[in-house]
Amino acid sequence: MVADGGTGTVLASYGRGVLVQADGVTLHCALSGRKQRIVCGDRIVWSYPPAADGPSVQSLEARRNLIERIDARGRAEPVAANIDRLAIVVAPEPAPDWFLVDRYWAGAVLKDLDALLIVNKRDLGTQALQAELRTYRDLHLPCVEVTAHAGADQAELQGMLANRVTLLVGQSGVGKSSLVNALIPSAVALTAELTRDVEGRHTTTTARWYTLGAASAIVDAPGVRDFAPPASLVRAAERGFIEIHARSNRCRFKDCRHIEEPACAVRAAVEAGEIAARRYESYRRLLRLYEKLAP
């Protein structure tokens, strides 16, 4: 007996419909009425309207948060909703883009999400990454080294992902979908081996929710290049860098951008080696990006 309505969680959102998990079953629901923008992680109310071909979404419950990325035209585009934590995935291969990692972390801080750095493909050797990992560990960003490949012990990662909804982000090819498959053997998330686009890469094209337990889930998002909060938050760049934000109240000017202002405590800290020069450069790049995008 199939229920004729209820609440559910959106596992994935396609152009014209959504995949919903409701009471242990998975349903395809059409979008009804006005154009609803529903994303992975949304909680919705669905029903079977009389005389309809199938179930449809009736309403959207209030979101705890909405994670957006910046699309190619600089506009915010929703990726997923109701997320607790951002897991930033890097690997020895492809070589990490640490500026992108900083940007993801800044995005998490600004959305009040916990953040976690997952170093995948440990089997390839992570020696070359240790200096940068040290920077993050010193800033108390949890870092865990794992491998998604068969037989690996995922207990530590599983423990870190428990009781939360975690969004996996990171460059294409670092192994986000492979991690999903390692953690949830029944998941069949599409990895580079299983599907390839015409250029032979970029396998995950839409965010997808995978339930891990009663209170935990992981969301596999496409390998996005820019994942940042909306452009209206120019001053936000600073808040996203915890060590820069912590020193900004010691700058002479309250609205110091830490670029060329005199008596800037942030630049002094960079010169003294208390703030990593590369993190400061990341901050400058993010600030420039926001200023370019700002209306």
Ligand X SMILES: Nc1nc2c(ncn2[C@@H]2O[C@H](COP(=O)(O)OP(=O)(O)OP(=O)(O)O)[C@@H](O)[C@H]2O)c(=O)[nH]1
188: left (phi over 0), alpha (psi -120 to 50) or beta: left
Q: How far is the CB of 200 from ligand X (least distance, A)?
A: 11
Per the structure block, which two tokens stand in for 187?
Answer: 């998941």
Binding to Mg ion by residue 177, rule CB under 5 A?
yes
Q: What share of the chain is helix, strand, coil (3-state, %, to 5)?
A: 25, 25, 45
Binding to ligand X by residue 222, rule CB under 6 A?
yes
Look at residue 127 and give its three-state secondary structure: helix
Segment lying near Mg ion (by CB under 5 A), choices 3-11, 168-176, 245-253, 286-294: 168-176
The C-alpha atoms of residue 253 and residue 238 are separated, in whole angstroms, by 14
Q: How far is the CB of 256 from ligand X (least distance, A)?
A: 37
* Total of residues contacting Zn ion (CB under 5 A): 5
CB atoms within 10 A of CB 282: 23
Ranked by CB distance to ligand X, the top (closest) residue is: 223
Q: How far is the CB of 4 from ligand X (least distance, A)?
A: 36
Residue 258, binding choice from Zn ion, ligand X, Mg ion, none, Cβ under 5 to 8 Å by partner class: Zn ion
Question: Do residues 61 and 6 touch, judged by C-beta distance below 8 A?
Answer: no
Decide the pairing of beta strands 43-47 and 143-145: unpaired
Q: Which of 266, 276, 287, 293 binds Zn ion (CB under 5 A)?
A: 266
The residues that touch Zn ion, with contacts defined as CB under 5 A, are 251, 256, 258, 264, 266
The residues that touch ligand X, with contacts defined as CB under 6 A, are 120-121, 123-124, 147-149, 170, 172-178, 191-193, 202-204, 222-223
